[in-house]
Amino acid sequence: MGKDIWKPGTVIYPVPAVMVSCGTMEEKNIITVAWTGTVNSDPAMTYVSIRPSRHSYQIIKERGEFVINLVTEKLAYACDYCGVKSGRDIDKFAEMKLTAKKGEKVDAPIIYESPVNIECKVKEIIPLGTHHMFLAEVVSVQVSDEYLDETGKFHFDKAKPICYSHGAYYGLGKKLGTFGYSVKKKEDKKVVKTTKKPASSKKRAKKKK
């Protein structure tokens, strides 16, 4: 096996495909973003990188907030549509029949059909070149209760999330393991030995007769 040498490029795949909603309930928009992820745990922080030429760029810059809405297989069509159409010309919520609901901690709307809505406040805008990174703190998270079990655990896998890889959208495949499974010790199956109690002397005597 050999290796080809490529020029520097963004080849970390797969990546999330998310719909970022911004603006207000009166003037709202959605942009599809693949350059996003977690940057810190406590406080919870994330980012989205957007080209300055995009309609949502100026909205987020002026408002200082946005919502990351995770995408499922059912939302894949809308996700792609919101990435190729401009909010300057159309109302993407209306076109894709998506429900806008005001966030709990931000004025930007969430996409109600999304199972996870991550409300964010911009902390810093970092110009990087083709894209500018909006570094943000997560101020609230909403999850759809249909994916909660009786213990309150959230099963996002049941929502059928998607990812983006080299120009295409994919559903997730089978689970290969859980975090830490590579070092987890296998539990030894305990062999329970059972021994029959000896028959009483009276029973043995009866058997002899």
Let me know if 93 is exposed, middle or buried by CB neighbors in 10 A (0-12, 13-18, 19+): buried
Q: Which of 16, 23, 39 is nearest to 135 (CA)?
A: 39
Per-residue model confidence (pLDDT) at position 197: 55
What band does 186 get if pLDDT is binned at 50, 70 and 90? confident
The pLDDT of residue 209 is above 50: no
Q: Which of 91, 116, 73 is nearest to 23 (CA)?
A: 91
Per-residue model confidence (pLDDT) at position 106: 98
> For the segment 38-55, what is each residue's pLDDT rounded down to a tens digit?
999 999 999 999 999 999
Rounded to an integer, what distance in angstroms lies between the CA atom of residue 130 and that of residue 196? 79
> For the segment 91-146, what is each residue's pLDDT rounded down to a tens digit?
999 999 999 999 999 999 999 999 999 999 999 999 999 999 999 999 999 999 99
